Structure 1
């Protein structure tokens, strides 16, 4: 395999130096994560207030909750499909091509959502079209990072992979802050007062158009600025044509199959802890238990996500120094103990001031979500080049399914304990599973691609 160094002058693709290609690939992965998360949270932040635009009138509160959750859940269910599909594409025809096709796809689907008619125009078909498009959107979104992230990690210097992985995933909190700011502007410009108000009729469409435009810009960026992975090209060039197999075949057997199982166990634990913080904490805890107003909740979350932008990068740098396996092995038990105590305090202690709630939420979120600053790098290092994109995509996305039903687990546990304690138990269980999963695998920070 040809070894590339930072001192190599100019490469064949577009006359770019290796340093330029490295920076472009990393920036592409960061913005891919940013736009991915921007699109994921569009229905949660922007569309939630006006979902009745797509639904029949006079629904029961229970049916409204089910229909609202389907819009979000179908996107999550589409992600593993996209991760598998585009992971195989990335391993067969290149990371760059997979990124261009997937980004272009979710840009088109997001634009189609922006022009959907409502229930008053086409009846219940409007809701099912929304759900279908969100599922297809999830497929393309699942493929977006499957090509972009392995491409960026393969271009990174070994000693900088920790920073790069943390920097890429920091696009998530930045996207959350951005979509909330966009939503605030929309609410201010287009008043919302019923289904015939400016916001309900077309104000919500503007952020979807913005998301589609961002996706289009990212696709053009990959076309004109990002070069294919040198490591993938070298591996693909070394393989005889008759030796080519579907990446999924190689992924599911032998050493790669064992690696995938280990990643799935670890990620199941960390997805469970992540869901408690990013989904349950805002609505189930801050609103229903602590009774924060809309402004107070938004303020708490905006401050928290601003802090997370930097803490993800810090986690990547720390794990680069002490080892990624060791980082998970330390943080997992801390989540199960210290994190559970912090969540217990928020869930049970009465009379907490807003400042105290903000501080506790920030500390809790930094601790519980810290593995995510390491996960992108770690999973990519667990697979060989032939199956890296497929392994990363499947390991990252398939593991989200079981933790996604955390609300059902809380209800089951509620038969044995107070409901507000069930989230504490799940957080502890998730931390332990994540640590055990990490200990099942080796250290990876010195792995050569």
Structure 2
């Protein structure tokens, strides 16, 4: 007598045999595909950094290791104009010391690789159920975004410490709906490492959860600051380190000056405060305009927070991407590694099918590709002021500017703008959104 076939999920896994992380043979097919691509692409990224000739490897060898030596003596790099980070950044610089059997560069790359792997696993975990299917309302697009976009930046993600900062912000966002205190605490730690993760709690729905997240963020940031100020000298030196910043050549204001240079503007490019900045007439005016735009962006975000009436499972994620995108675009500095932040937040947005930022994420993916053309391919030409390099940076910043306006408009329309009666969707309850 023939037996009925064993029912399987949409990923080809038997319903009776839920997959386990410790047994790859039970993983869903999409998880296997993601794992295979992740391993292959990361081997290439590690190989690029391992050569030791790439600029990011030299930066780790020279700058990060120098800071590591100073921090080991119990002091921050006081007086070093290239040190402009909150005290928590010391943790990233000291972490390679946990692997004394490796060189500093090797240990740094290994830690970045582990961070990447854990982040990839978390994105897969929030999307897939244990029986191999996709969580209701969730999507694996976020996991694919992270897997595909990061290698577009070649070896850069493993040669900067923005990867663990982004991982902290992503973990904070993923925890906020069900564990607001834990999510807020991670945001506070991230803020002490590189400031911008403080923005990820902006979209938390009003109410008790939001208050818990904000309180936990402030408490964890203050506690970490107190510990570091006790252990190290010069912990507050970073507060005045940004005062003399000018306009970096890859920023939005910098692209304006790049075009002006082609038309006869007499300014020049020099190493200044740890980055390549424009020096010359009207630079101060452009820098002031950037600060004004940043203040305007903050004001718009506060207005959105006040006016928003509709929250969904995707709103905290969407608001975080919009906030960080606005602050990135209006900054006086847009380094290539800043795109890692946007990749991570876009990936979190794409884990929810109802996100309003899905087309924005695709536009940012294109911006990541153009960024790689800018750096490292055209970077030397950009310093000299060639037309081709100028065109590339104008296109890249144009994409980021378009994405920021589009992101803000879509967030406002979904959460603030009145919805016609015939198009109103069922109200989403504000209860905790738990991920199995």
TM-score between both structures, scaled by the size of structure 2: 0.30
Higher helix share: 1
Higher relative contact order (CA 8 A, sep 6+): 1
